A = this chain, B = another copy of it.
Amino acid sequence: MQRIILESKVLRKNDEYADANRRLFEQHGTAAVNVMSAPGAGKTSLLEKTLHALKNDFQIAVIEGDLYTTFDADRIEATGVPAYQITTGTCCHLDARMIARAVAEFRIVEADLLIIENVGNLVCPAEFDLGEDLRVMVCSVVEGADKPQKYPLMFQTADVILLNKIDLIPLAGVSLEDLLSNVRKVNPSAPVFALSCRTGEGIDAWVNWFRHRVTGLRKREVHECA
Contacts and interface: CB of A to CB of B under 8 A. Distances in A.
Interface of A: 3, 6-7, 10, 38-41, 66-69, 71, 90-92, 119-124, 127, 140, 142-144, 146-147, 149-153, 165, 167-168, 171-173, 198
A183 to B, nearest CB: 14
Given A90-B127, A149-B68, A143 B173 contact: no
Contact of A38 (B3, B120, B146, B173): B120
Contacts of A146: 69, 71
Contact of A123 (B71, B121, B153, B172): B121
A5 to B, nearest CB: 11
Contact of A151 (B67, B143, B198): B67
Contact of A171 (B7, B153, B171): B171
Contact of A40 (B3, B119, B121, B147): B147
Contacts of A144: 40
B90 A143 contact: no
B92 A124 contact: yes
Nearest to A123: B92
Contacts of A92: 92, 121, 123-124
Contacts of A150: 39, 66-69, 71, 120
Contacts of A152: 67-68
A144 B41 CA distance: 9
Most B-side CB within 10 Å, residue of A6, A40, A124, A143: A40
A122 B121 CA distance: 7
B67 A123 contact: yes
A90 B146 CA distance: 17
Given A92-B121, A124-B92, A171-B171, A39 B71 contact: no
A151 B39 contact: yes
A122 B123 contact: no
A90 B39 contact: no
A153 B67 CA distance: 10
